[in-house]
A and B are shown apart, each in its own frame.
Chain A
Amino acid sequence: MADIVLDKVSKRFPDGTTAVRGVDLEIADGEFVILVGPSGCGKSTTLNMIAGLEDISSGELRIAGQRVNDKAPRDRDIAMVFQSYALYPNMTVRENMAFPLRLAKLDKESIHQKVEEAAKVLELTPLLDRKPANLSGGQRQRVAMGRAIVRQPKAFLMDEPLSNLDAKLRVQMRTVVSRLQKQLGTTTVYVTHDQTEAMTLGDRVVIMRGGAVQQVGPPQELYDHPRNLFVAGFIGSPSMNFLHAAVEDGHLRTALGDVPIGDRVRRQLDGADAPRELILGIRPEHFEDAALIDDETRRRGLEFDAPVDIVESMGSDKYVYFTVEGERASAAELEELAADAGAADFTGTGSSLVTRLSAESPVREGESRRVWFNLEKIHLFDPSTGRNLTLHEGRASGALAD
């Protein structure tokens, strides 16, 4: 049980690349923190530095108040679960789990007891005498977890522990991990590239990009109040829609029509070096079929007509894809996100808009539909810096705020 503090921790490789730059992070005792970001963002390197498997180039790492920069992994008293599970194939499940205890020179009796205990928690008892080769993926994953919890370390580090499991099992194991962490109350740092895991598991989420921390906060806060374009695009599934918006005397010209802006945003746009082009971001659930909303709600938003491309009925609601004409939003962050999703080369004409409408909506593919969207939930981003202009004291306030 311990807190972990990263104080301006950086990692530079001998070939000159900087994998992690100046990460400041305080992880409280017992907290469950998720490091998330696209591949190559430095999240795994950060975890390896906490583990002691990578040297820290500069900055300080403290575990339980003690500087551990120069300590070997074995002297840091932390356990790690690897993406590949890394079970010792020549040992049985029992021997695998006992391995850290045997290295710690515990006596046979207490090793036996601790292994049995951990096996019971993870429901591994009937498998104890099997070799890893005879286990399923989910069972191997549990053995890897068992090996980590068996010696009650100060902290757990998990490097994408669920990414090798199939989708159904992953959801199931997610709850196992979550329950286990709450039960043991051990400080946990968890690396993933899956934003769903990040949203569902952690007390706090750290979003990284290019080796730097973008935003740290509870999942809901990151979702509602993204500090920049990258965070906004990364969190959420389906992800936020981004549209090009040109600033023209007092309003924004977008593919969805002219969007009025309030005083607060206007003040930011008055400066001499203020951007003339913005990126408008809006989440799928902030659209609604215009026929289904009352007048009171209608006043808070705008309506537009667009041809319906595809309707995906999810039962509880409908994902409706529209094509809107006009310039595509472009920014380095967006390209990076598209590349990470593997959709960089997937470009249609015009912009595609994802909306999440009520299940009652009678929308059909091929027709043109009138759709309403909520102006209070709009985010505006500066394309050059990625900064969220609608964020005020950490809270997003929409385009209209005064």
Chain B
Amino acid sequence: MAVETTTRAKVRWGLLDVIVVVFALVPVLWIASLSFKTPATLTDGKFWPREWTLDNYRTIFDTDQFVRALVNSIGIALIATLIAVVLGAMAAYAISRLDFPGKKLLVGVSLLIAMFPQVSLVSPLFEIERQLGLFDTWPGLILPYITFALPLAIYTLSAFFKQIPWDLEKAAKMDGATQGQAFRRVIAPLAAPGLFTTAILVFIFCWNDFLFAITLTSTERARTVPVALSFFTGESQFEDPTGAICAAAVVITIPIILFVLFFQRRIVSGLTSGAVKG
């Protein structure tokens, strides 16, 4: 595509970009700004805090509540992500490479799971988990997260596996590799961008979930941050916890940003170039 960009077009697109970015970022910045305000100036409607304070952050880290929730969130999201990506990779590999009976059914059912409204599953899950003793435990959240993340993982990953030329696997087999070796040493390294992309998506899904977390937990044992936030109260019932909630919101955004930045560096495009004549 040979596009000759005139100065006018550049300015037009630039303006449009700025509008979109501002629209998306203002609420985030507002939250950040609120988190630095003192309770007295909280409602002054000024974007720039008149009095800076770190009290809000001190408050949330002083309460055991928030720190526990943070640990729960990180642990649950990481474990669920790891399991979902490994299982998803194996399933996606089979789906993209093999022609087995029931393949269409499997893909269809996994799509069905992804489409199923989670809210209608919450009550049955609550009952089941109470019966099984999973209620208010880490596995009690990890299991549903894996279930709902797997279809996503399978879909993303099978798209990546399909891009890898099958000849590479055949070549590995001819070179003396077993099926497992061919997957581990040739296919998986090439599917790495896909694995990292999937990991990011699954992690974000687990990290942000509120519905399951609030239904399937009752104490600090397994309560995750989004839920803990909703339980924030001021020191007395007349005190407004807005500042603390904002500070917590900023804090829980940080792991996600770190996670994405860390894995994004590994998502390099064109990793398969040079494998086959393209």
Contacts and interface: CB of A to CB of B under 8 A. Distances in A.
| Chain B binds chain A | yes
A84 B186 CA distance: 16
A210 interface: no
B251 to A, nearest CB: 38
Contacts of A223: none
A82 B170 contact: yes
Given A89-B190, A147-B175, A135 B170 contact: no
Contacts of A89: 190, 271-275
B4 interface: no
A87 B165 CA distance: 10
B270 interface: yes
Contact of A134 (B173, B177, B185, B274): B274
B174 A79 contact: yes
Contact of B270 (A82, A85, A88, A133): A133
Contacts of B271: 89-90
A137 interface: yes
A89 B168 CA distance: 9
B140 to A, nearest CB: 39
Given A74-B173, A74-B177, A147-B175, A133 B167 contact: no
Nearest to B164: A89
Interface stretch (A18-26, A30-38, A97-105, A343-351): A97-105
Interface in B160-212: 165, 167-168, 170-178, 181, 185-186, 189-190
B190 A72 contact: no
Contact of A86 (B171, B185, B270): B171
A217 interface: no
B171 A133 contact: no
Interface in B129-175: 165, 167-168, 170-175
Interface residues of B, number: 25
A103 B171 CA distance: 13
B276 interface: yes
A140 B176 CA distance: 20
B277 interface: yes
Most chain A Cβ neighbours within 10 Å, of B172, B174, B178, B185: B174
Contacts of B175: 74, 79, 99-100, 103, 147
A137 B277 contact: yes
Contacts of B173: 52-53, 72-74
A265 B1 CA distance: 65
B168 A88 contact: yes
Contacts of A386: none
Contacts of A79: 174-175
B181 A84 contact: no
Contacts of B186: 88
Contact of A78 (B174, B177, B273): B174
A54 to B, nearest CB: 10
A80 interface: yes
A84 B276 contact: yes
Contact residue range for chain A? 20 to 34
A87 B274 contact: yes
Nearest to B169: A86
B174 A164 contact: no
A87 B274 CA distance: 7
B276 A103 contact: no
Interface string A131-147: 11111010010000001
A151 B176 CA distance: 10
Contacts of A72: 173, 178
B167 A74 contact: no
Nearest to A135: B274
Nearest to B189: A90
A79 B165 CA distance: 19
A79 B172 CA distance: 10
Interface in A41-77: 51-53, 72-74
Contact of A131 (B181, B274, B276): B274
A324 B178 CA distance: 61
Most chain B Cβ neighbours within 10 Å, of A72, A135, A157: A72
Contacts of A100: 175-176
Given A84-B165, A88-B168, 14 more contacts: A73-B173, A80-B170, A85-B277, A86-B165, A86-B275, A87-B275, A89-B273, A89-B274, A90-B189, A100-B176, A103-B176, A132-B275, A137-B277, A151-B176
18 contacts: A72-B173, A74-B177, A78-B174, A80-B171, A84-B165, A84-B275, A84-B276, A87-B171, A87-B276, A88-B171, A88-B186, A89-B190, A89-B272, A89-B275, A90-B189, A99-B185, A133-B273, A140-B274
